[in-house]
Structure 1
Amino acid sequence: MTQKPLHETAPDIAGAEPVVQRRYKDPRFPLDRDVIVPQLIRRRAAEHPDRVFAVFDDGSTWSYGDLATRVWRRANGLIEAGVLPGEYVSSWLPTGPAAIETWFGTNAAGAVYAPVNLSYKGSLLEHALNLAESKVLVAHIELLERLKGLHLKHLKTIVVVGVGAVDLPGYTVLRWEDVTGDARCPSTVDGLHVWDDMTLILTSGTTGPSKGVRCSYLNHYVDSKNTLHPSITGDDRFFLCVPMFHVGGTKSTYAMLQKGGSVAVTQGFSTSTFWSDVRRLEVTTCFLMAAMTMFLLKQPERPDDADNPLRTALTGPMPENIDEFSNRFGVQLYSNFAMSEMPAVFRTELNPDPALFKSCGKAVDPENYEARLVDAHDQEVPVGEIGELIVRHAWPWALNSGYKGMPEATAAAWRNGWFHTGDAHYRDEDGNYFFVDRFKDTLRRRGENISSMEVEAEVMSHPAVAHAACIGVLSEELEEEVMVCVVLKDGHHLTPTELVDFLQPRLPYFMIPRYIDFRSELPRTPSFKVEKFRLRKTGITQSTWDREASGMRVRREKLQQTV
């Protein structure tokens, strides 16, 4: 197959839109063309083919017309490669043009987009690909070496993005430039429903390996209404500098497509170039983790700090110095509470009262989206008392559709007809909700959810380790750092640096412990369960080794080829 030139006229790009018909008996459900990704693309291309959808780091742009043509070609190429409706296509790509084409093309082929974390390796990578049951993987060429030696039960075809020789015996290898087909909208687009899975997003496990969250088109539609502030419209441009293997990337991109807006696409966040990128790419809104706001505030002040097009930024958690950030950079901040499994249920106003900076807001849509704080028996707790947040929505399929291949985990999370978040909150008398802690055994570092169990499993695979417990300790950037408490086997010796060297080929960089504490024993209950709350309470001690302080740095592997 050869690459064909882009069509230049809207009818050829978009095709003829079918007559709008309501397919669902429930009158609350929106129209397919307002929800389903390829139908949204077809609609936008027909309505305004020349409007910009994406601006890239190299200065190139895609109009909605360009987007439609690229997506139809990619979808037809994937169909020719054997992708069937309802199947999962794994994508192992950095944020960029190829990742967007793969996602939208997969959906247009009637399939489900299953992105994989770029840092995955070893058993985590094997689990992610086997969980998705993908027959087809679209991958950056510089990542392929990590596939060797893995037992991948379903993978048959690898679409390679990038230049270079490929040595992967046992797989059908196709080149990205060859997986392209006709520029007409494939018939699979009109076979999709709002309740069909759009993405499979991996999230950290608690008592087992990472879970694959099944997210429908309607789930993303509801999130687009709840997450972004109502002031954001189709005239805005979102800064897509976050990974597309997280909901932060998929849901923000979907929201701008749904609004008819645009995205500015770079491979990642950079403190030193953030504001020049914002000005150059004409960014008006974005997402900033709390650590990002602190990094930006620590930069030397400049007289033109506020001279930029950025108007609003979603952040989480909300930094205490809201006014300092807002006044210096001319940006209004707001926050919310959402998860991979659920759209935002709470949202703050722009620049909320600094006295409420710890709040994640009030209920966004209380008429349709219920939230309760409950005890261990699902009994609602009084105002001011801490309870687990549980939610449900009046629209079926608005929340997650369960965990792929994990019926027990799905049933446990959805017990009594409510989705149990595993997160502790309390509510004040004015209806403001405050996140307190996690009941589930996970932690979060720089936007990455980390399963304590997966870290512990790799630590305990070292022949000198008898027991290990992984916890999160608060860092100076208001997020968690990974700490492991380790008990060695009798007669064995192990240094912190030796343990880190052992873990680096086995774990993603963000899961490598910063703090290591060797102990004679771990605190346990009478049933021998580790009492992690005691370890968290003790935290860092004089005997704790700090990898950063020792000068031992662990960095993300940077891909050289831009795709």
Structure 2
Amino acid sequence: MTHPFPERSEAVLADLLERRAATHPDKLFLLHDGGEWTYGETAERAWSAADGLVELGVQPGDYVLSWLPTGVDAVQAWLGINAAGGVYTPLNTSYKGNILERAVNLSRASTMIVHSALVSRLDGLALTHLRTLVVVGEQVPTPPGMAVVDWRQVSAGMPVRPRLATPREPYDDMAVIFTSGTTGVSKGVRCSYMHHYTYGANLFPPELGADDRYYLCLPLYHAAATNATYTFLRRGGSIAVVESFNTERFWADVRRFGATCGNLATSMSAFLHNAPRRPDDADNPMRMAYMGPMLEDTEGFCERFGMQVFSCYGSTEVPGPLFSGPVTTNTGSVGRLAGPGFQGRIVDEHDIEVPTGMVGELVVRHDQPWAMFSGYLGMPEQDAAVWRNGWFHTGDAMRVDAEGNYYFSDRIRDTIRRRAENISSVEVEAEILGHPSVAEVAVIAVPSEHEEDEVMAYVVPAPGGHPAFAELVDHAADRLPYFMVPRYWELVDELPKTPTFKVQKAQLRQIGITPQTWDREAAGYRLRRERFTSGSR
């Protein structure tokens, strides 16, 4: 039976925060390296930022960019944007060049809250709508024509919740999360409050509640982080915020913050399990965590660290249609349909359902409005491509058994996932093609020793060109986020193509790494995520 559509007080972020602050003002909600915030203090900081943003002209429904590292400023900016009626639109802090320009322009935002260390990346970009920069950190030179405001001024507004002429509803956009999971360019996924309400209900086991504390080490420009923050606010729990995941300090952080749950997505669990054993491994407060995909030795991991794990299949577009757990063993399944409300089918290329046990594409839908994403911002053609015959097409090949357990088989779309980041091969190829010695390039995924993918580029040199691999890496690193720069490179005379001249990437994936492949990491070229001083208070 379908649950009733939630009331505003049950789903809209500012309403949830106001209710928690009224009923439990002194309960801790957020812990960080610089201190801690109660629910009451969190609400006051949100209202103060909202008041400052309203003074800048932010109105209900406006998209407001947030380009900040994970930390309390990022949390306050998000809560303030939503309390002002705006749509939280975070950007990956690794964005630069054409990818950055396109995301900023696609949002049509006139206001950006930005860390001072990132401002210089805006130089030289053709930004058609951006007019105001709210700078977090020290004041730095800014692009001409931009109004500049200090974040300390904006975030010090009146600590009273602004009353909007048109209150936000569960079906309104809460956030736009940029993601790239196909061969196309990055897309802005419109997420309603109902979308995150559904995500929280499906992804987190009901055993996690008001007494639990979530260890948040994922960036707040990913749905996994915004979903966790939203869910633990809704359930009356708390979060411990750190800038990023670090294998060496993970368990020390968990202990000192008293974190009882967290996210061990993809390579994180492998890094922890491969770390040297310690006699106190199981002496920690974490009792449950998300793990996806499951480690082969999930049972050994759970026994070693004294915990359970759960898993969920989902995406920014689709809030957790499949759920598994809590468990202590890897069954191989990505879960069963989460409920209530989700429906799933395995279909062939004509959208006809295939027999039980046969591999096909997973398509899903939900019987509540606004439970799934509300479309791609400014990209109706992409909406049409994924919605067909009343179902959302995930692009993932799966099978389902007679008991309703779903098993992942392969990716139908040409996707790359590295270190919890989705990568568009088209965007990588476009930047590499800008090198004068490159005639053609094809970018594919190859297996990584860390459970996910590595990026590999096959390059056809231009006539008379002799590109050095180190030169190509430098060229790509100047234009792409660090995680998108290929690790593996190989020069070829030509790329395999169809009779209609499309590159046959399936053939390249079958070839994969060869003795002629150049590995930039083996050659000493390691790229790291840029670190920031978050200005946490």
Aligned twin of 1:243: 219
* Counterpart secondary structure, 2:135: strand
Secondary structure at 2:440 match in 1 = strand
Letter in 2 for 1:45: A
Instruction: Give the root-mean-square deviation of aligned CA atoms.
Output: 1.3
Where 2:480 maps in the other structure, the secondary structure is coil
Which of 277, 283, 288 aligns to 2:253? It is 277
- The equivalences for 1:249-264 within 5 A come to 249-264=225-240
Equivalent residues of 2:120, 2:141 under 8 A apart:
no
Q: Distance in 1 between matches of 2:210 and 2:169?
A: 24
Displacement of 1:101 in angstroms is 0.8
Q: Secondary structure at the match of 2:196?
A: helix
Q: 1:249 to 1:475 in 2, by over 3 A?
A: same
Deviation of the 1:208 alpha carbon: 3.2
**Correspondence for 1:391 among 355, 364, 378:** 364
Does residue 287 in structure 1 map to residue 263 in structure 2? Answer: yes
Matched residue type, 2:73: A
SS of the residue corresponding to residue 423 of structure 1 reads: strand
Specify which structure has the bigger relative contact order, considering alpha-carbon pairs within 8 angstroms and separated by 6 or more residues: 2
2:58 aligns to what?
83
Q: Which residue of 2 aligns with 1:516?
A: 489
Secondary structure class of the residue paired with 1:468: strand
- CA-CA distance at 1:350 after TM superposition: 1.8
Any residues of structure 2 matched to 1:297-446 within 5 Å, and which?
297-351=273-327, 353-354=329-330, 356=331, 358-365=332-339, 367-446=340-419
Where does 1:73-222 land on structure 2 (aligned, <5 Å)? 73-179=48-154, 180-188=156-164, 191-204=167-180, 206-222=182-198
- Return the alpha-carbon distance in structure 1 between the equivalents of residues 283 and 249 of structure 2: 15
In structure 2, relative to structure 1, the CA distance for the partners of 1:353 and 1:276 (3 Å cut) is closer
1:373 CA displacement: 1.1
1:533 aligns with 2:506: yes
The alignment status of 1:226 with 2:202, answered yes or no, reads yes
Q: Shift of residue 430 of structure 1? A: 2.1
**Deviation at 1:353?**
4.1
SS in 1 for 2:389: helix
Cα offsets for 1:291-326 (capped at 9, x unmatched): 111111222211111111000010110101011111
| Structure 1 position 561, deviation (Å) | 4.6
Distance 1:478 1:372 in 2: 27
Contact kept? 1:288, 1:314, Cα under 8 Å: yes
Q: Which moved more, 1:202-211 or 1:422-431?
A: 202-211
Distance 2:506 2:125 in 1: 36
1:420 is displaced (CA, Å) by 1.0
Equivalent residue letter for 2:411: R
Equivalent position amino acid for 2:471 in 1: E
Q: Is the 8 A contact 1:38 1:189 kept in 2?
A: no
Larger deviation: 420-429 or 447-456?
420-429
Deviation at 1:352, TM superposition (A): 5.0
Find the aligned partners of 2:139 and 2:84 in 1 and give their Cα distance. 28
The aligned amino acid for 1:517 is E
**How do 1:447-486 and structure 2 match up within 5 A?**
447-486=420-459
Equivalence map 1:36-51=2 (5 Å):
36-51=12-27
Residue 166 of structure 1, CA deviation:
3.2
Determine the C-alpha separation between the residues in 1 that align with 2:184 and 2:448: 26
- Please report how far the alpha carbon of residue 190 of structure 1 lies from its aligned counterpart in structure 2 after TM superposition: 6.3
Displacement of 1:349 in angstroms is 1.6
**Paired residue for 2:533?**
560
Q: Secondary structure at the match of 2:294?
A: coil
Deviation at 1:441, TM superposition (A): 2.1
Quickly say closer, same or farther: Cα 1:229–1:189, change in 2 above 3 A. farther
Which 10-residue stretch deviates more, 318-327 or 551-560? 551-560
Q: Deviation digits for residues 460-506 of structure 1, max 9, x if unmatched?
A: 11111111111111111110000011111221111111100111110
Q: Is the 8 A contact 1:515 1:546 kept in 2?
A: yes
Maintained 8 Å contact 2:418/2:483: yes
Deviation for aligned residue 1:167: 3.5
Cα pair 2:181 2:422 within 8 Å, conserved: no
Amino acid of the structure 2 residue aligned with 1:106:
I
CA distance in 1, matches of 2:49, 2:532: 23
* Gap change, CA 1:107 and 1:560, over 3 Å in 2: closer
Q: Do 2:136 and 2:535's aligned partners in 1 also have CA atoms closer than 8 Å?
A: no
- Structure 2 letter corresponding to 1:505: D
Q: Deviation digits for residues 50-76 of structure 1, max 9, x if unmatched?
A: 111100123x11111001111111101
SS at match of 1:339: coil
Report the alpha carbon displacement of residue 558 of structure 1 after superposing the two structures with TM: 1.4
Q: TM-score, length-normalised on structure 2?
A: 0.97
Contact 1:110-1:189 at 8 Å conserved across structures: no
In 2, distance between residues paired with 1:290 and 1:186?
A: 40
CA contact (8 A) 1:289 1:446 kept: no
Contact 2:266–2:420 (CA under 8 A) maintained in structure 1: no
Q: Matches of 1:186 and 1:505 in 2, distance apart?
A: 42
For structure 1, the residue ranges without an aligned partner over 5 or more in a row are 1-25
> 2: distance between equivalents of 1:115 and 1:181?
22
1:273-298 deviation line (CA, Å, top 9, x unaligned): 00000000000000012311111122
Alpha-carbon offset, residue 560 of structure 1:
3.5
Partner AA of 2:433 in structure 1: M
Distance 2:517 2:265 in 1: 27
Question: Helix, strand or coil: the match of 2:240?
Answer: strand
286-295 vs 507-516, which moves further: 286-295
CA contact (8 A) 2:425 2:444 kept: yes
1:445, 1:281 → 2: CA distance?
A: 28
Q: Equivalents in 1 of 2:315, 2:420: separation in Å?
A: 12
- Contact 2:119/2:140 (8 A) holds in 1: no
Identity of counterpart residues, as a percentage?
Answer: 50
Query: 1:543: Cα distance to partner?
Result: 0.8
8 Å Cα contact 1:39/1:189 also seen in 2: no
Secondary structure of the 1:215 match is: strand
- 1:23 maps to none
- Counterpart Cα distance in 2 of 1:292 and 1:508: 20
Q: Residues 560 and 97 of structure 1: is their aligned pair in 2 closer, same or farther, counting only changes over 3 Å?
A: closer
**TM-score, L = length of structure 1:** 0.93
Q: Is the 8 A contact 1:205 1:453 kept in 2?
A: no
Q: Which residue pairs with 2:479 in the alignment?
A: 506
Query: Match for 1:342: what amino acid?
Result: V
Contact 1:387-1:424 at 8 Å conserved across structures: yes
- Structure 1 SS opposite 2:335: strand
Q: List per-residue Cα deviations over 1:205-231 (Å, max 9, x = no partner).
A: 635321100000000001110001121
Instruction: Confirm or deny that 1:491 pairs with 2:464.
Output: yes
Query: Does the aligned pair in 2 maintain the 1:49–1:63 contact within 8 Å?
Result: yes
Larger deviation, residues 412-421 vs 71-80:
412-421
